[in-house]
Structure 1
Amino acid sequence: MTSEPKRLLVPYGDTTGDGMVQVSFTLPMAHSKVAEGTAAQLAQKMGIDPALVVHAKPMGPDFTFFVVYGRVNHTVDPSVVEVVERDYPLLTPKEVNAAVKTGLRRRLVVVGGCIGTDAHTVGIDAILNIKGFAGEKGLEYYRELKVVNLGAQVSVPDLVEQALAEKADAVLVSQVVTQRDAHLLNTREMSAAFREAFPAARRPLLVVGGPRFDESKSAELGVDRIFTRGTTPGEVASYLVHRLIERRAS
């Protein structure tokens, strides 16, 4: 929980405190005046009043995309917002390598991929591939890390098999496809499979990432850590080193 003093905030649009917001959504209706009126009514039920439809675009014959602008009267208090803060030091690649060398006395093995039908490898490649993300090199760049990138559409049994074969210290899974909560179902399936295949003391760290995950739901999904949008390779590497050395010492 943050330590900010209590202060109620309202959105800022044109002037301070005006409460103006902009939202977008799609309705399963062909574009028409009725569809625009329906979009405005939905926005009003969301607490936007007055609601002005500022953009409407047909998305094929049966759907319309809307952008609505208007005022909300809700306030928010940042002092009661709960978030998952980073609880480990952020290390440079050189510090990560040194920590692995002295703390584990062997290379740290990471197995990663996209499970289920997810074919979007941009996220997992940003963390694992040497080219990295946001100006940081990926985990393949770290001398003391062995990285096995399985790519896309990896079945959970194959992921478990590879983790066993490689004696993985950590398993990283990216999930971008979220229709019908596929990312949550796949993560729960993976977690259950690893708990069945490994004794508790030997189970690799299970780390998942993707834009639609809630960082606070790691225990509920049965994983050790959840990373969301904007995560860099350095954050992941620092977390792995911190947790694995902590586990080894306990």
Structure 2
Amino acid sequence: MNIKQVNLKKIKPYGDTLDDGKIQFSFTLPVNASDEAKECAKRYLEMLGFSNVIITHMDAMGKGFSFFVAYASADKTIDFTTISVPKATREVWDKHTIVEKVEKELKRNITIVGACIESDAHTVGIDAILNMKGIAGHKGLESYHGFVVYNMGAQVPCEEVIALAKKVNADAILISQIVTQKDIHVANLTKFIELLEAEKLRDKVIVIAGGPRITHELALELGYDAGFSVGTYPEDVATFIVQSLLHKNLK
């Protein structure tokens, strides 16, 4: 039996068979659900260059809107071997290793201050990393021996975060931004870094940004030490903090 091998230089989406280019779409159009709306959805995907378009589901989304699920085929390929994504850490330690590194190599507690700043009222991200229960079976940093954690919650002014960080002599500050409309997350993250620099604290603390539209690359551009996004667990963040502190001690 001959099994077709993946050509990493010509990657296409996988549906039923290798290289069939099948993609699933879901989107909304600002028109009432109707046969015309369904045909409009089909033609729109065809205009984008997709073939074999099938609208498998249409539903009314209130007055003046309709929701669609569709499948289509893509012809274009991409060279996977040319793709490189900046990452905060190459090697992620487990909780036991992290705690052991802190105890035996750093030999002191790590103090962390975290908050969802300014108008953002969503704590789901910062809680997943800091709270004792963590996320998906991964315990948060509050459960790590040797970690002193201050979770300030949501809608915290930048100035208050910096004030607490100064008061407790924080090793790391974690800033979460969930809301991204009109790039408000970029404005808030920029404001925080500028205030931190004005207080002459930027070089004295590890600063990490997190959120659904945060990448490590964006965080670096904004002046942060690292950025974490969807799929991040507490040990990812803890590893980066401990590795950074150990590296700093070697200088």
Same fold at TM > 0.5: yes
**Cα deviations by residue, 1:60-92 (Å, 9 ceiling, x for unpaired):** 212222212111111111101111345454333
Question: What aligned pairs does 1:34-45 form with structure 2 within 5 A after superposition?
Answer: 34-45=36-47
Q: 1:68/1:190 Cα in 2 relative to 1: closer, same or farther (>3 Å)? A: same
Matched, 1:158 2:154: no
Q: Counterpart amino acid of 1:249?
A: L
Question: What aligned pairs does 1:75-154 form with structure 2 within 5 A after superposition?
Answer: 75-85=77-87, 87-154=89-156
- Which whole-Å CA distance do the structure 1 matches of 2:224 and 2:57 have between them? 41
**Other-structure match for 1:174:** 176
Q: Unaligned regions of 5+ residues in structure 1, if any?
A: none
Normalised TM-score (structure 2) = 0.88
- Which whole-Å CA distance do the structure 2 matches of 1:117 and 1:200 have between them? 23
Question: What aligned pairs does 1:214-225 form with structure 2 within 5 A after superposition?
Answer: 214-225=215-226
CA contact (8 A) 1:5 1:79 kept: no
Give the CA RMSD over aligned residues: 2.1
Following superposition, the deviation at residue 6 of structure 1 comes to 4.6
CA contact (8 A) 1:88 1:238 kept: no
- Which whole-Å CA distance do the structure 1 matches of 2:245 and 2:66 have between them? 49
CA contact (8 A) 1:109 1:167 kept: yes
Following superposition, the deviation at residue 104 of structure 1 comes to 4.1
- Which whole-Å CA distance do the structure 1 matches of 2:13 and 2:92 have between them? 32
- Which whole-Å CA distance do the structure 1 matches of 2:41 and 2:223 have between them? 39
Sequence identity (%):
37
Q: Unaligned regions of 5+ residues in structure 2, if any?
A: 1-5
Q: Counterpart amino acid of 2:72?
A: G
Q: 1:200/1:223 Cα in 2 relative to 1: closer, same or farther (>3 Å)? A: closer
Farther off after superposition, 32-41 or 18-27: 32-41
**Other-structure match for 2:190:** 188
CA contact (8 A) 1:114 1:124 kept: yes
CA contact (8 A) 2:193 2:202 kept: no
